[in-house]
Each structure stands twice: as structure tokens, then as C-alpha cells.
């Protein structure tokens, strides 16, 4: 990481596979500018759709082994549009207690009866579902990898409970696409589950994929429905040709360079091992998001400042982003970190924790 602050090891990037600056992706963007210029002429349903949007949606559907796909201009817009498009005031939506704010906002906006279940607890979800009228339309929404804790949704059990109770399941793969599964295709691959374990596979194009946008991969019926009921699709301009071209090229790179995913897994394991060996609690994290738990908000401020002053760019996460007294440093590892970077960063973090002991 460069700039006015000097060179630092960046432990705050979502570019999990280091694809920002990949020559093939930059080249695809240059070609899209030559062929399509900038801008999109308007909303998708009127004049906004071009061949890059259609190719991106086919590519995502293929990557996620879904029938079809619809894209939005951001992950945030996708969550609002998908959730508020699928459920209405007479329906119900149930979410994990640690879901991302964009999911919570979508649930509130929908006007549907909104309940939460205890974090990653299929039995509590089952209990919640049993409390609803038998003929209700119910959507269950969860993060695939929880963004502040780095733990993975118990998809085998959550999917089973949803099927048993006739609820649709939507999973937000913002932090699992490109990150989990041997090939980086996400949560079904990680658990070796069939593609229909999740009904609506939502994700962003702003993290592993170095672009902007969000998507829903689902059955053709659901995708068609969202194209006519998802307000962020209907009333907001199409994503730029550059964003679409970058995302298509990034999916190609993920498939052609699987070693990046393997390197990411190795780096995350090394960082976890070094932090744990220094006595730092990384909660239930199993992924590239590693919380270094410290409790009080003031401790997180101190730790972050110490790390930044000593060459490691990492952020403290306080209440209300996480619950009271569960502040943490939130470290994200990428495939681009060298083993030396990780050892050095872990030793600075460990030194910061010793200062507050
Ligand atoms: N879902 C999750 C889990 C996220 O972490 C984020 C972004 N931090 C979003 C959705 C929103 O995505 P975007 O930034 O592309 O709008």
C-alpha cells in the first residue's frame, strides 16, 4: 500500500485474490472503452442493456451453476432490490443475527414480517420457521461468510431446515466468492453441496472481483421476476461497460489461475496460526477475514493506531458495527501477501496486544 502514509502492509483490502491491477482485467476494460465508450444510456429495461451485461450475466450463472442471473449497480442495491422484490408485507423474512447491514436494510424496506435467528444456529431457525403460518411465503437470508467474524454459514443444515419448511434460501456471497471452495466458486463448493442448496445466490462485484456491482443467480423464474420487481434494477441506470467488462475478465482469471485461491487459503491459515500462537482470539474465523478480538472499543482504537504507526494498515471495528464489548481489529488477508508480510504483520499485532495486556 502506498501514499502519503508511506508504505504499509495492507490488512484491510477486499481484493482477496489480488486482482486489482491484473493486466488481463485492465486490458478488458481498455477494450470495453474502445468498443462501448463510457456510460450506459439509461436503465436496463429501456435502453441500458448491452452485450457486456448479457455476457456477464451468462458468465455469473455459469460460474455459480445457476439457470440465470441478474445484475445490479452495487451489492447494496442488489440486497435491497432482491429482498424487497421477493417479499411483501404479508410475507416473512428471517435473517441471521450477524447479517450485513445491506441485508437488514432490505428486510426492513420489504415491509414483510422480519425476524432474526441466533447466529449460525439451524435449530433456532427451525424454531422461528415453525412459529409462522403454514401457508406463508418465507425468505431466509444469510451471509455466506460473516463479514466481521470470518466464520462460514452452516449451509448444509440451514439449507436442510429451509427445504423442510418450504422457505426460500438466499445467501450473500460478498466474502465467499473467490474465497472459499478449492476453485473459489463459493459456499456450495466449500461444502460439496449441489447447486440447488441455495435458491438465490447473491454476491458483489466489488471485492474479489475488482469492479462494482451486485448480482442474483437463481432459477430463470426468479431472475425474470426480479427484473420486473427489483426496484434497483428497474429504476437505476445499468452498470457501466467498464464495470461489466472487468467482472467478466475477473471470472476468467479466477478459473485460469486457481493457484491464487490456494495461496489465499495458505496465507489465511498462516496468519490465523501466528495470531493464535500469540494468544490472540480469532473467534470462529475459518476464512481470509480474521478478527483479532480485544473487547472494549478503546482497545481497538489503540491497537489500530499502534499497528498503523508501525507499518500495518488495519482497522479497529467498534460498537455498533459489532455488539457491545466485542470490538476487534479486523484483518483481511489476500493471496498477494508474502509469507514475510504475514510474519511481520502478525508480530506487530502481537506487540500491540502486549502493550494493552
Ligand atoms: N453484503 C456484504 C456481506 C458486504 O460486506 C457488502 C459490502 N461491504 C455488501 C453486501 C455491499 O456490497 P457493495 O459494497 O458492492 O455495495
Q: Calculate mean pLDDT across residues 117-122.
A: 98
- The answer, yes or no, to whether residue 215 has pLDDT greater than 50, is yes
Is the Cβ atom of 32 under 6 angstroms away from ligand 1? no
207 in catalytic set: yes
Shortest CA distance to 126 belongs to which of 112, 143, 138?
Answer: 138
Distance CA 102, CA 176 (A): 16
pLDDT band of residue 4 (cuts 50, 70, 90) is low
Q: Whose CA is closest to atom 2 on ligand 1?
A: 174
The atom number, within ligand 1, closest to the CA of 205 reads: 15
- The answer, yes or no, to whether residue 104 has pLDDT greater than 70, is yes
Which residues contact residue 335 at a Cβ distance below 8 angstroms, ignoring those fewer than 6 apart? 16, 17, 18, 260, 261, 263, 264, 267
Is the Cβ atom of 75 under 6 angstroms away from ligand 1? yes
Residue-wise pLDDT tens digits, 26-83:
999 999 999 999 999 999 999 999 999 999 999 999 999 999 999 999 999 999 999 9
Q: Calculate mean pLDDT across residues 85-108.
A: 97
- The answer, yes or no, to whether residue 2 has pLDDT greater than 60, is no
Q: Calculate mean pLDDT across residues 220-237.
A: 97
pLDDT band of residue 357 (cuts 50, 70, 90) is confident
211 in catalytic set: no
- Give the three-state DSSP class for 52: helix
**pLDDT the model gives residue 6:** 73
Q: Whose CA is closest to atom 4 on ligand 1?
A: 174
Is the Cβ atom of 66 under 6 angstroms away from ligand 1? no
Helices 220-229, 75-86: axis angle to 10 degrees equals 100
- Give the three-state DSSP class for 169: strand
Q: Calculate mean pLDDT across residues 95-101.
A: 97
Q: Calculate mean pLDDT across residues 280-297.
A: 98
Is the Cβ atom of 174 under 6 angstroms away from ligand 1? yes
Q: Are 212 and 74 in contact, with CB atoms under 8 Å apart?
A: yes
**pLDDT the model gives residue 3:** 46
Geometric angle at alpha carbon 218, from 214 and 219, rounded to 5°: 150
Of 40, 74, 147, 326, which residue is the catalytic one? Answer: 147
Name the one residue in this structure whose C-alpha cell is 471485492. Answer: 207
Residue-wise pLDDT tens digits, 145-204:
999 999 999 999 999 999 999 999 999 999 999 999 999 999 999 999 999 999 999 999
Is the Cβ atom of 207 under 6 angstroms away from ligand 1? no
Is the Cβ atom of 100 under 6 angstroms away from ligand 1? yes
53 in catalytic set: no
Residue 263 CB-density burial (10 A; 0-12 exposed, 13-18 middle, 19+ buried): middle
Ordered DSSP codes for 300-346: HHHHHHHHHHTTEE-EEE-TTTS-TT-EEEEEE--TT--HHHHHHHH
- The answer, yes or no, to whether residue 128 has pLDDT greater than 70, is yes
C-alpha cell at 247: 467482472
Of 207, 243, 265, 337, which residue is the catalytic one? Answer: 207
pLDDT band of residue 1 (cuts 50, 70, 90) is very low
Does the predicted TM-score (pTM) go above 0.75?
A: yes
Q: Whose CA is closest to atom 14 on ligand 1?
A: 75
Q: Calculate mean pLDDT across residues 330-339.
A: 98
- The answer, yes or no, to whether residue 96 has pLDDT greater than 50, is yes
Percent of the chain predicted with pLDDT > 70: 99
**pLDDT the model gives residue 5:** 59
Amino acid at each position: 500500500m502506498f501514499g502519503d502514509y508511506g508504505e504499509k502492509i495492507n490488512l484491510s483490502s477486499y481484493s482477496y485474490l489480488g486482482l486489482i491491477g491484473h493486466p488481463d482485467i485492465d486490458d478488458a476494460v481498455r477494450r470495453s472503452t474502445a468498443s462501448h465508450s463510457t456510460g450506459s444510456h439509461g436503465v436496463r429495461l429501456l435502453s441500458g442493456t448491452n452485450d457486456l451485461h448479457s455476457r456477464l450475466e451468462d458468465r455469473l450463472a455459469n460460474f455459480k451453476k445457476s439457470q440465470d442471473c441478474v445484475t445490479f449497480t452495487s451489492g447494496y442495491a442488489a440486497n435491497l432490490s432482491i429482498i424487497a422484490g421477493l417479499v411483501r408485507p404479508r410475507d416473512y423474512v428471517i435473517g441471521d443475527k450477524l447479517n450485513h447491514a445491506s441485508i437488514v436494510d432490505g428486510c426492513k424496506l420489504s415491509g414483510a414480517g422480519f425476524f432474526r435467528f441466533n447466529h449460525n444456529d439451524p435449530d433456532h431457525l427451525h424454531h422461528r420457521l415453525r412459529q409462522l403460518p403454514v401457508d406463508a411465503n418465507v425468505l431466509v437470508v444469510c451471509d455466506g461468510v460473516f463479514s466481521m467474524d470470518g466464520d462460514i454459514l452452516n449451509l448444509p443444515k440451514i439449507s436442510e431446515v429451509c427445504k423442510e419448511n418450504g422457505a426460500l434460501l438466499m445467501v450473500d456471497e460478498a466474502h465467499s466468492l473467490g474465497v472459499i471452495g478449492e476453485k473459489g466458486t463459493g459456499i456450495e463448493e466449500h461444502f460439496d453441496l449441489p447447486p440447488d442448496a441455495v435458491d438465490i445466490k447473491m454476491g458483489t462485484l466489488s471485492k474479489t472481483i475488482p469492479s462494482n456491482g451486485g448480482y442474483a443467480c437463481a432459477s430463470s423464474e426468479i431472475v425474470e421476476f426480479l427484473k420486473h420487481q427489483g426496484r434497483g434494477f428497474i429504476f437505476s441506470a445499468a452498470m457501466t461497460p467498464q464495470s461489466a467488462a472487468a467482472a467478466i475478465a475477473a471470472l476468467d482469471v479466477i478459473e485460469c489461475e486457481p493457484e491464487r485461491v490456494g495461496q489465499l487459503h495458505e496465507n489465511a491459515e498462516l496468519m490465523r496460526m501466528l495470531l493464535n500462537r500469540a494468544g490472540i482470539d480469532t473467534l470462529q474465523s475459518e476464512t481470509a477475514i480474521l478478527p483479532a478480538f480485544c473487547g472494549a472499543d478503546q482497545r481497538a482504537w489503540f491497537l489500530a493506531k499502534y499497528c498503523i504507526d508501525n507499518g500495518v494498515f488495519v482497522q479497529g471495528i467498534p460498537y455498533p458495527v459489532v455488539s457491545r464489548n466485542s470490538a476487534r481489529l479486523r484483518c483481511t488477508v489476500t493471496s498477494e501477501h508474502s509469507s514475510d508480510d504475514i510474519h511481520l504483520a502478525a508480530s506487530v499485532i502481537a506487540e500491540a496486544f502486549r502493550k494493552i495486556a
